[in-house]
């Protein structure tokens, strides 16, 4: 009988010896036959139960267990490789997203600069200057500081465009901005107010300091030869100045109005000059020519 194994075969051999042993003890043939039949029945029942147990257990015993372990290990290795590949793909995606984020931030900054800068000259535009002026006036009022506001206008600029064309006119505007930037502090706020008009805010500066700053700009422009290709022209600038400690209730619009009034007075006196608008508590607002 197959499927018994060594232990099963040894047990059957032991059972076969039982009748012989009984015969030696003088047991009758009837008893021997009965015992033999009983033993054979028991052996059959034992064999059948062993077959059933063998059918319930995998035929190869521990070998399939090692096969399943190998399969599990192989599956785990495949899953590990798949996880590594997905992790690397995720890291690459995160890297691309970070790069896109950096590019978007750069573009947002560029758009922000476009929103606050003059397209031709690169300095602040009128709208943004108004925001900065409002902030600086509030700071000057809070800390009892002086400030100055210079309104500047290029003299007879229409003739520049008419005689030399708008390309040369644009060059003059950009060159004027370059000259002014060379003469002012990093803390000063410079903007194009409109057309050939420019405005300059000088925080924390004395009256004499404001006058000297305005005069430096005027003389630098007067001494400069504006030259582009075959075109060359001398250009001058007229400057109206507001200076003072902004009193409570004085608005940025009031300061611009004072600077513009000083500019008008300077033009009325012949252009190419600086005119200072001084607040006086006894007589209100009055003008004084300083150049």
- 140 and 147 in contact (C-beta within 8 Å)? yes
Q: How many CB atoms lie within 10 A of CB 212?
A: 13
Q: How many CB atoms lie within 10 A of CB 238?
A: 24
Task: Return the residue matching tokens 């007229």.
Answer: 238
Residues 6+ apart with CB under 8 A from 198: 123, 151, 152, 153, 176, 177, 180, 190, 191, 192
Half-sphere exposure of 179 (CA within 13 A, CB side): 24
Which residues are catalytic, by number? 196
Q: How much helix, strand and coil, in percent to the nearest 5, is found in the chain?
A: 60, 20, 20
Residues 6+ apart with CB under 8 A from 200: 149, 150, 152, 180, 184, 188, 189, 190, 191, 213, 217
Rounded CA separation 226/110 (Å) = 30
Angle, CA 261 vertex, CA 258 and CA 264 arms, to 5°: 155
Rounded CA separation 31/21 (Å) = 13
Widest Cα–Cα separation across the chain? 160
């Amino acid at each position: 009988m197959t499927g018994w194994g060594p232990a099963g075969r040894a047990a059957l051999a032991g059972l076969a010896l039982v009748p012989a042993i009984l015969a030696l003890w003088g047991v009758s043939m009837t008893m021997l036959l009965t015992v033999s039949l009983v033993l054979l029945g028991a052996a059959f029942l034992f064999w059948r139960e062993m077959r059933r147990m063998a059918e319930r257990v995998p035929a190869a015993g521990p070998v399939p267990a090692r096969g399943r372990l190998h399969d599990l290990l192989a599956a785990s290795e495949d899953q590990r490789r798949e996880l590594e590949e997905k992790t690397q793909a995720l890291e690459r995606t995160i890297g691309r997203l970070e790069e896109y984020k950096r590019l978007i931030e750069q573009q947002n900054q560029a758009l922000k600069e476009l929103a606050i800068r003059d397209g031709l000259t690169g300095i602040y535009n009128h709208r943004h200057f108004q925001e900065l002026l409002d902030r600086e006036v509030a700071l000057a009022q809070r800390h009892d500081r002086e400030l100055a506001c210079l309104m500047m206008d290029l003299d007879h600029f229409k003739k520049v465009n008419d005689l030399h064309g708008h390309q040369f006119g644009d060059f003059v505007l950009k060159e004027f901005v370059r000259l002014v930037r060379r003469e002012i502090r990093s803390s000063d706020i410079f903007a194009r107010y409109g057309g050939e008009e420019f405005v300059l805010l000088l925080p924390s500066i004395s009256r004499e300091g404001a006058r000297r700053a305005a005069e430096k700009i005027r003389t630098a422009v007067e001494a400069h030869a504006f030259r582009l290709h075959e075109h060359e022209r001398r250009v001058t600038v007229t400057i109206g100045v507001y200076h003072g400690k902004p009193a409570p209730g004085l608005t940025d619009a009031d300061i611009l109005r004072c600077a513009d009034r000083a500019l008008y007075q300077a033009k009325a006196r012949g252009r190419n000059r600086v005119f200072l608008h001084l607040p006086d508590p006894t007589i209100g607002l009055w003008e004084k020519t300083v150049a």
